[in-house]
Amino acid sequence: MSFLSSMGISASALTATRLRMDVISENLANSSTTRTENGDPYRRKYVVYQERTNDRAFASFFNRARKAPGGVRVIGIGEDQSEFNLDYNPTHPDADEDGYVRMPNVDVVQEMVDMMAAYRAYEANITALNAFKDMAVKTLEIGN
């Protein structure tokens, strides 16, 4: 695996992790939104990752042959189809005839745990990029 491909792997992970943190932030911000444009409560969103491969035919074949990793890419943002939470609040404008309000299927504690995990992944990739940079500087110093 070449030096630059290592940096590319970390850079792709940084981009994907940043999007994951943005989606988690959106989930947290909408954790009490009971009505969206379609009339339903907000649905939790999540990021779907896939291994990134090189699209060029020869490079793709060569990378598969030597089993070189290509990084990660986001292939979509999905919506959690689990049931909405019910909250008894008969005075709420969105309450049904029994007094229950359908609340978003966002678990704030789980989202915070996901945010911490994403932050740690982001931090680890920054550390890896800094290590690659330091190795490049040391390599250039050897030539002097």
The answer to whether the beta carbons of residues 45 and 18 sit under 8 Å apart is no
Confidence (pTM): 0.81
Give the pLDDT mean for 51-74.
66
Q: Can you give the pLDDT at residue 95?
A: 93
Report d(CA 114, CA 105) in Å as an integer: 15
Question: Per residue in 110-120, pLDDT tens?
Answer: 999 999 999 99
E-strand stretches of the chain: 45-51, 72-79, 85-88, 100-103
Mean pLDDT for the stretch of residues 109-138: 93
Q: Are 126 and 14 in contact (CB under 8 A)?
A: yes
Number of domains, the chain: 1
Tens digit of each residue's pLDDT (9 = 90 or more) over 69-98: 678 889 999 999 999 999 999 999 999 999
> Which has more pLDDT, 113 or 54?
113
Torsion of CA 52, 57, 59, 61, to 10 degrees: 90
User: For position 23, what pLDDT does the model report?
Assistant: 97
pLDDT of residue 139: 83
**What's the pLDDT band for 9 if we cut at 50, 70, 90?**
confident
- Determine the length of the chain: 144
Confidence of residue 102 (pLDDT cuts 50, 70, 90): very high
Mean pLDDT of 36-64: 79
8 touches 16 (CB < 8 A): no
Q: Is the pLDDT of residue 129 over 70?
A: yes
Residue ranges with strand state E in 52-135? 72-79, 85-88, 100-103
Q: Tokens standing for 130? A: 């800094």
For position 60, what pLDDT does the model report?
59
With CA atoms as reference, report the closest residue to 118 among 64, 72, 67.
72
Residue 124 has pLDDT above 80, yes or no: yes
Structural domain of 126: 3-142
CA distances 12 to 19, 21, 49, 75, Å, are: 11, 14, 11, 13
